[in-house]
Amino acid sequence: MKQTASYTERKKFEIFDKGHVLLYLNEQPAEITNEETGESTPGFSYTGDMPDGGTMIEATGVTVENRRDKFVAGLIGKHYDMDAQIAVLANGKDTPEHAAELEQFAQVRSSCKAQVDELLARN
């Protein structure tokens, strides 16, 4: 179930533990209202599978140099486990069904890359 959370500061990602990272995707402008004063402050909302609006991915050994690749691979892993990825890539386009599966995989991969690129480009 997707959950949305709002913050006054912009978020990108957080290392959750040795094997996981939280990505803050689907950024939207938000108004944050102080419940005590009723004052509104501009902010940002994020929608993901975690209560804080983050999306948990599997990623180990993340460094500044490899984080884009690790984040893209982890996000693809939310759609296709490793066995499914290998099967789709190994099948190639040898049948119309396999060609359609490969095209679907390519679309997911492209979407994951765009989401990670947007996230990493945030100030």
Domain ranges of the chain: 3-121
Q: What is the pTM of this model?
A: 0.91
Average pLDDT of the chain? 96
| Helix, strand, coil share (%) of the chain residues, nearest 5 | 35, 25, 35
The string of pLDDT tens digits covering residues 34-70 is 989 999 999 999 999 999 999 999 999 999 999 999 9
The string of pLDDT tens digits covering residues 62-82 is 999 999 999 999 999 999 999
What is the helix (H) or strand (E) element at residue 42, kind and residue range?
strand 40-48
Helix 67-76 and helix 96-121, axial crossing angle in degrees, nearest 10: 140
Calculate mean pLDDT across residues 100-109: 97
